[in-house]
Amino acid sequence: MSDFKFDGHKIDVDLIASITKMLDANGIPNVMWGPYVLERYGADLWIQDLTFVIPDPHIDRAREILLAANFPPCPEGDDCHLVQPICRLPHSYAHFILDARGPEPHDHNGKTGFWHPFRLELHKKSRLLWALPDIPLGAPAPDDPNYMLVTDDRLDEYNPISRTGRVPHTHYPVKMPTLPRYAESLAYGYLRERSPGGDQRNRRARFFLREMTYIGLYSKLEPADLEPRIQRFWALRYHPDGYHPLFRYSTALAAELRTANFFPQEEEEGEVQESASGKT
């Protein structure tokens, strides 16, 4: 078992490895997602948040373990911008504060919002990576087509200036999706959120579209490694006529996938941890 306790550690690879080790030691499969993963693919980003994807049956336990390890839950409760409908980011199952600094409360369409940029998020696998196989506990096989380590040789050599590429060393194996699977997950996230549902869902769809832009700009994705229907999607993403061909194809593909029950059943969004903050 891991005896790690959070005491304001610097947000770096050692903290990430310690969290991974703690989750693994408690039998909780986990994989990184978000900006930290995009950095490994070559995107020059400023890392503010750490995102872990957890299998749905394990996510309550993962939250309990992080609380027991002294990761402070968000104190803002319903006032946190991250849990309000106006937020375009995927809503996490729970999030924790890694650094108390944050922007001042603001008003948007009559809603007051506050959020901490330096945070740790837990997301259900059914919300972000439902199309991927089960997340392995511990290190995946070296040739696993779905998951890899952040130190994998398939990633570009580490750039100490931009801090992109494969991590030179971690004190414990940290997992991430392979580039083709991650690109597909973003495309499927876009298609899921693009389905009819009003302005809120369209705003979330634009988030996934933006994340795909980082891959197009910085990574060495081979379209041939994508699923055929996403190969077509990816080609239209950079169509000379702009976004209209992509939107037409996406509308048809999203309808086809929804008819085939490809998207997990929708559920009411909200964070369990709101009650842990003392607010309701």
Distance CA 97, CA 49 (A): 9
Q: What is the pLDDT at residue 1? A: 57
pLDDT at 198: 46
Q: How many CB atoms lie within 10 A of CB 240?
A: 5
CA–CA distance from 101 to each of 97, 115, 142 (Å)? 9, 9, 39
**pLDDT profile of the chain (280 residues), mean per 10:** 82 93 98 96 87 98 97 78 70 85 52 65 97 96 97 96 94 98 97 68 85 93 96 90 89 94 76 46
Q: Which pLDDT score, from 0 to 100, does residue 116 have? A: 61
pLDDT score for 278: 41
Pick from 27, 62, 37: nearest CA to 147: 37
Tokens of 154: 């398939």
Write out pLDDT tens, residues 172-199.
Answer: 999 999 999 999 999 999 999 986 654 4
CB 166 within 8 A of CB 157: yes
All structural domains of the chain: 13-178 (3.30.460), 180-259 (no CATH)
